[in-house]
Amino acid sequence: MNKTVKTVKVLVVDDQPLIVEELCEFLESHDYCCIPCHSSAQAIETFAADPAINLVLCDLHMPQYDGVELVRALKVIAGHQRMFEAIMLTGRADKQDVIRALREGFADYYQKPVDLNELLEGVQRQEATLQERQQSFQHLGDLNQKLQFLADSIDDLYQDLDKARGLGPHRRATDVESEPDSESLPALFEQLSPRQLDVARLVSKGKTNYQIACELGITENTVKLYVSQVLRLTHMHNRTQLALALSPGNSPLHLRVTAH
């Protein structure tokens, strides 16, 4: 019979090795993967080295760094992309310590000696919480992809509008001679759509995203999307390179240098 694969990897931290051994043995008997640590410093190093760790059980009162300071350090390592929860274990149920821990973001706390069955229920609750957060994160990623698709669709719509106005399906730099300040643009920019080219020209004139949005009648966020697309398609690293590439007197050699 196959065991259920748990989605939680537990870091167990306590300066008393016997407690760490007992907790790991108990949780592993319920199919959780546990990593023992006997100091805050060791826990920080282990957490940084293993991105799969997403639940931390730690003693509050430990040498060097206490549990609150430990979780604070782990948050810095985790950043905004990595999710984890923390459960505090304490031998002294000091109200102020508990409040300080909860304010720091501990999901739960248990007083020693720990009731292992209660702890198991707490771990299971945090496992469910982490699963929900992961699903929400994936949903957000899907939403971002849909927004990008929408931006691309809007770009296609602008191209269709330009066709209807008689600008043709592939307006190129050589087609904009009516602009008094324009010269023939490098072939590097021929792949841009009309709207992307409009944004690129305004960027080269030193316009801010807000000014470009006002001039083109689009939102500032849409401008940011267009700027990102232009930089990606032209292999430019930033707006300064883009402005230099579109400045008068640029050369193919100069473009090769700025584009890479």
Task: Provide the number of structural domains found in the chain.
Answer: 2
- How many CB atoms are located within 10 Å of the residue 260 CB? 9
**In terms of domains, do 51 and 133 share one?**
yes
Please give the average per-residue pLDDT across 187-204, as a whole number.
84
Q: Is residue 145 scored above 90 in pLDDT?
A: no
Report the percentage of the chain scoring pLDDT > 90: 36
Helix (H) or strand (E) holding 41: helix 40-49
**In terms of domains, do 133 and 174 share one?**
no
184 falls in which pLDDT band (50, 70, 90)? low
| End position of a domain, from candidates 93, 124, 139 | 139
Tokens of 80: 């905004």
Give me the sign of the Cα torsion angle 154, 157, 163, 165. negative
**In terms of domains, do 123 and 181 share one?**
no
The CA-CA-CA angle for residues 8, 12, 16, to 5°, reads: 165
Determine, yes or no, domain membership for 154.
no
CA–CA gap between residue 44 and residue 37 (Å, rounded)? 9
41 falls in which pLDDT band (50, 70, 90)? very high
Q: Is residue 100 scored above 50 in pLDDT?
A: yes
Determine, yes or no, domain membership for 119.
yes
**Is the pLDDT higher at 204 or at 124?**
124
How confident is the model at residue 135, as a pLDDT? 78
162 falls in which pLDDT band (50, 70, 90)? low
Determine, yes or no, domain membership for 105.
yes
pTM of the model: 0.54
**In terms of domains, do 92 and 34 share one?**
yes
* Contact partners, residue 96, CB within 8 Å, separation at least 6: none
